[in-house]
Amino acid sequence: MGGETELLKDPEFQRLLVRRSRWRWGLSGLLIGAYLVWGIGGIYFAEAYAAPFMGIALPWGMAVGFLIIAMSIVLSMVYVRVVNRLEADEALEQDKHR
Q: What is the CA radius of gyration of the chain?
A: 21
SS3 46: helix
What is the per-residue binding string for another protein in 14-53, x denoting contact by CB under 8 A?
Answer: --xx--x--xxx-xx--xx-xxx-xxx-xx--xx-xx---
Contact criterion met (CB below 8 Å) for 27 and 79:
yes
**84 contributes a contact to another protein by CB under 8 A:** yes
Residues 53 to 72: which contact another protein by CB under 8 A? 56-59, 61-62, 65-66, 68-70, 72
Number of residues that bind another protein (CB under 8 A): 51
> Nearest approach, Cβ of 43 to another protein (angstroms)?
6
What is the rounded CA–CA span in Å between residue 8 and residue 14?
7
Residue 88 to residues 80, 82, 85, 91, Cα–Cα distance (Å): 12, 10, 5, 5
In the chain, what's the furthest Cα-to-Cα distance?
Answer: 65
Which residues contact another protein by CB under 8 A?
A: 1, 3-5, 7-8, 13, 16-17, 20, 23-25, 27-28, 31-32, 34-36, 38-40, 42-43, 46-47, 49-50, 56-59, 61-62, 65-66, 68-70, 72-73, 75-77, 79-80, 83-84, 87-88
